[in-house]
Amino acid sequence: MENHEQTSFRFEIDNFSEKKDVISPNFISGGCEWFVRVWQIEDHLAVTLSVPNLESLRHGWERRAKYSFIVLNQSGKELGRTFEAEGLFCFELLDWCHPKVMPMTKLQEGYLENNKLMIEVQVKVVEVVHEGGVTTEKEMFNIESFDVLYTRVSWVSWIFVEHPDVAVDVRIKNQLLRTAYMNVLLGLIETLDRPPRSLSETELRDAHIELSELTEAGFKVDWLKTKLEEVSLVRKDEISDGSQVEELEEHVKNLKLELDNEKTKSSNASDRVFLLEKEVSDLKIELDKERSAKSPISKVALLKDAADSFWNTTNLGIRQRRAGYQKVDSKRFLSCPRTG
């Protein structure tokens, strides 16, 4: 039996009342990695000591440790403490939980300061078996009588921790068939963890079929049935709301396009009107020039003026000569002797 010194690790949780599930950073004790999970079970605060980084651990690893938890406020005042327990940690049992460290009502009665909670865990590793080593992607591990790839060990272990009775009624003996059903279960969980809107009708239909097959094989998956119903409903609502939004967006897009076209037409029409007005103005100027240069009325007027001037001058001379002749004749008449 190995003897390792006891190690204490403390971490602080801010805004505790707003959080339902908190995972601590990893820490080292007895040459092994650990982490703490703080959460709520019904109306009590629960804490769990767990093993991380399973992919780095060799097949058949085990570690035995003694541990206890202390709950404190920001000032370091102790609010609750668990008794020291000893547990065996392995692939089949990845964590140990204290489900009732203290009532949640105690934390809601003003014991917290600035809504901050501190958790201290004390760990003393007693024994380590096959710690460390190298595994391959194809190496299989047996979890609750199911052979699974080492890359999925933590996932399968989580299922049995959260739903310990999930496979109690499974009576299938063939190990290959058991593994196939476990892969179906993992795939279904993975599908339902996706955003509802990203799921197609075919995927939802397949999920219903897989759920029925698992139920017929003896798996207790009521929790997945509930989640599938919720996901289907949320997807339906999102698709419906999304369709309306898409229709409105398309309508706005079309209106904007129509408005841009009208603006373009209006701008083109305005430019056209301006060009036409300028063209008309230029034509008027050109017409006036042409009229000034080529109008027959202007030439006739000039000829008429010249003719009038000529005839006026000529008539004046004729009248003057006639008047002169008349005077001469009168004188001649007066000077002639009259006969009786």
Q: What is the pLDDT of residues 178-193, one digit of tens each?
A: 999 999 999 999 999 8
- What confidence tens digit (pLDDT) does each residue in 18-67 have? 888 999 999 998 888 999 999 888 888 999 999 998 777 777 788 888 99
Lowest mean pLDDT among 10-14, 25-29, 86-90, 315-319: 315-319
Answer whether residue 157 shows pLDDT above 90.
no
Mean pLDDT of 144-171: 82
pLDDT at 334 exceeding the cut of 50: no
Asked whether the predicted pLDDT for residue 338 surpasses 80, the reply is no
The residue that leads in pLDDT, 140 or 202, is 202
pTM of the complete model: 0.41
Share of the chain above pLDDT 90, in %: 26
Domain ranges of the chain: 1-142
Class of residue 98 by CB neighbours under 10 A (exposed 0-12, middle 13-18, buried 19+): buried
pLDDT tens readout for residues 248-301: 666 667 777 777 777 777 666 677 767 777 776 776 787 777 677 655 545 445
Name the fold adopted by 1-142.
Answer: 2.60.210
Given this model, what pLDDT does residue 333 score? 44
Query: How do residues 194-218 score in pLDDT, each as one tens digit?
Result: 888 888 889 999 999 999 999 999 9
pLDDT tens for residues 291-323? 776 555 454 455 555 556 555 655 555 555 555
Computed over every residue of the chain, the mean pLDDT equals 78
Range in 7-11, 31-35, 241-245 the model is least confident about:
241-245
